[in-house]
Amino acid sequence: MEENTQVAMESAVPYESKSFRQPINKSWDRCVSYGLNTQHRPKPPQILSDKLADILKKHEKILQIAHPYMKTLSTITVKKGGILGLSNSEGVILHIEGNSSGLKELGFEKGCIHLEKYMGTNAIGTCIETGKPIIIWEEEHFFQALRRWVGFAAPIYADENRLDAVLFAMIPVENACRTTMAIISVGADSIESLLRLTKDKECLLSMQDMMQQVQNSIIEASSIISHEVKNSLTNISAYIQLLQLDKSINHFRGERILREISRVNRLLDDFKILSRHQQKNITEQSLDEALQSVLYIMRPKAELNKVEIIYRPNKEDISVKADKRALHHVFINIIDNAIQAMEDGGSLTIEWHVQQEPHEVVIKFTDTGPGIPADEINQIFQIFYTTKKSGSGLGLHICQSIIKCYGGSIEVDSIFGQGATFIIKLPIVNH
C-alpha cells in the first residue's frame, strides 16, 4: 500500500472498535491492485433498463420482503440526510429509500454496480468481498470523493453459504453514529430470517405437492388392485357355494371360508373409503342436516337392537366444511359402534354445542354401554386395532383420518362399566 494511503488509514479513528481495520486494509490493497487512485471519482457501471428489469424480477421476492423493513428503517437514515438501500450479491443496487443529490452524483442510483473495482473501499462492495457487516468511516473510503460519508452494510444470506443481498446505508459524517450499524444489522437479520422462512415454506409446499402426486398414484394403484382382488374373491365364493351344493366340501368348512372371504371384502371396502376421502369434495355442510340424515338411516337398526337414540340439536344451526359422504361415514360408524357395544340395549345421546375459543363445534355421542377399558382407550384409533371378531380395525382410524382432514379432532372419554363418549371437534364456517 502507498505511504500516504497508510498514513490516512492509521490516522482515521472513526469509532471505538478496531474490528473492521483488517478487512479495510485488505480492501485498500485490492483497490491498489485494480490500479485505482484515491483522487479518482467513483464510476460505477449502469445496468441497461431491459436487463435491470430482469434482475429486479429475479429478486422480486426479497424486494417484497425487504420493503416494509426498509420503509421503517429509512425514517432514521433519511432524517440524518442519508439513504438506505438494497443491492444484490453482484453489487447491483436494487432499491433506494431517500434522496440525496450528492450521493446520486457518486453513483448511488438503482441499477449502478457498486463493486470495489468501481467504487474502491465502500460499504456495499467491501461487504460483498468479506461477507460480513462493515462500517466504512470517512477517511477509510479509498476514494476521497466518498469521505464526507459513512457507509454501513450488512449481508443477507439466502442459506448458510450463499450471499443473496446487502442492506446498506450512507449517512453524512456529521450525522453518523455507531448505533446505525446495529439498526442495519437488525434489519438485515429480520429480512434474512423471513427470506429463509419463505424459502422453507416453498420447499415444504413443493414436497407436499410431490407427496400428493405419489399418494394419488398409490391410491389409484390400490383401487385397481382392490377391484381385481374383489373380482377374484367373488369367483372363489361362487365356486365354494357350488362345491357345497355338490356336497364336495364339508358345509361347515365351506361356511367358514365364505365368512373369511366376506371379511376380506369388508377390509377392501374400508380401504376404499380410506382412499376415497383423500379425493374429497369439500363444501359447506349444515351440521343439523348431516346428523338428521344419518339418524334417518340408523334409527331402524337402533330400534331392532333396543337402543334409543336421543338427539339434542342446538337452537341455531351451524355449518362446517367437509365432504358430505365422508362426514356421514364418520357419524354412521360411531353410531353403529355404539349400537353394537350395547348388546342388551340402552340409549345413545347425541348433542352439540359451539365453543368460542377456538371457534369450533363440539359434537358428543354418549352411550350407556359397557365402556372402554383404560388400557384400550389409547389404542382404539390405531390402524388394524379391533376388539370385534369380524372387525377390520380400520373403522375408527378412518374416522380420525377424515376428521383431521377438515382441521378437527376426535377423541373418546370413557370409564369402564359406565359407557363411553366420542367427541368430535370441527372448525365452524364463519359467515
- CATH code at 134? 3.30.450.40
Give me the pLDDT at residue 261, please. Answer: 79
pLDDT surpasses 70 at 215: no
Computed over every residue of the chain, the mean pLDDT equals 83
Give me the pLDDT at residue 135, please. Answer: 93
How far is residue 149's CA from residue 176's CA, in Å, rounded to a whole number? 8
The enclosing domain of 265 has a CATH number of 1.10.287.130
Domain residues for the domain of 217 are 204-277
pLDDT surpasses 80 at 55: yes
Residues 34, 122 share a domain: yes
How far is residue 327's CA from residue 282's CA, in Å, rounded to a whole number? 10
pLDDT surpasses 50 at 7: no
How far is residue 294's CA from residue 28's CA, in Å, rounded to a whole number? 81
Residues 215, 166 share a domain: no
Report the percent of the chain where pLDDT is more than 70: 85
Give me the pLDDT at residue 430, please. Answer: 74
Q: Is 279 exposed, middle or buried (0-12, 13-18, 19+ CB in 10 A)?
A: exposed
The enclosing domain of 374 has a CATH number of 3.30.565.10
Residues 111, 136 share a domain: yes
Residues 91, 51 share a domain: yes
Counting Cα atoms < 13 Å in the Cβ hemisphere of 271 gives: 19
Residues 353, 210 share a domain: no
Q: Comparing 8 with 321, which gets the higher pLDDT?
A: 321
Structural domains of the chain, count:
3
DSSP assignment of 273-304 equals: HHHHGGG---EEEEHHHHHHHHHHHHHHHHHH
Residues 254, 308 share a domain: no
Residues 208, 184 share a domain: no
Q: For 354-378, what is each residue's pLDDT tens digit?
A: 888 788 999 999 999 888 888 777 7
Least confident residue range of 151-155, 259-263, 399-403: 259-263
Residues 372, 242 share a domain: no
Q: Which of 164, 197, 230 is the last residue of a domain?
A: 197
Q: For 87-131, what is each residue's pLDDT tens digit?
A: 999 999 999 999 889 999 999 999 999 999 999 999 999 999 999
The answer to whether 92 and 111 have CB atoms below 8 angstroms apart is yes
Residues 75, 182 share a domain: yes
Residues 219, 301 share a domain: no
Mean of pLDDT values over 400-419: 87
Q: Comparing 11 with 249, which gets the higher pLDDT?
A: 249
How far is residue 105's CA from residue 107's CA, in Å, rounded to a whole number? 6
The answer to whether 345 and 305 have CB atoms below 8 angstroms apart is yes
Residues 240, 92 share a domain: no
pLDDT surpasses 60 at 175: yes
Q: Which of 277, 308, 323 is the last residue of a domain?
A: 277
Residues 24, 132 share a domain: yes
pLDDT surpasses 50 at 412: yes
**Non-local CB neighbours of 404 within 8 Å, separated by 6+ positions:** none
**Which pairs count as long-range contacts for 264-271, CB under 8 Å and 24+ apart, including other chains?**
264/229, 264/233, 265/230, 265/233, 266/390, 266/392, 267/392, 267/394, 268/226, 268/229, 268/230, 270/392, 270/394, 270/395, 270/398, 271/222, 271/226, 271/394
3-state secondary structure 44-85: CCECCHHHHHHHHHHCHHHHHHHHHHHHHHHHHHHHCCCEEE
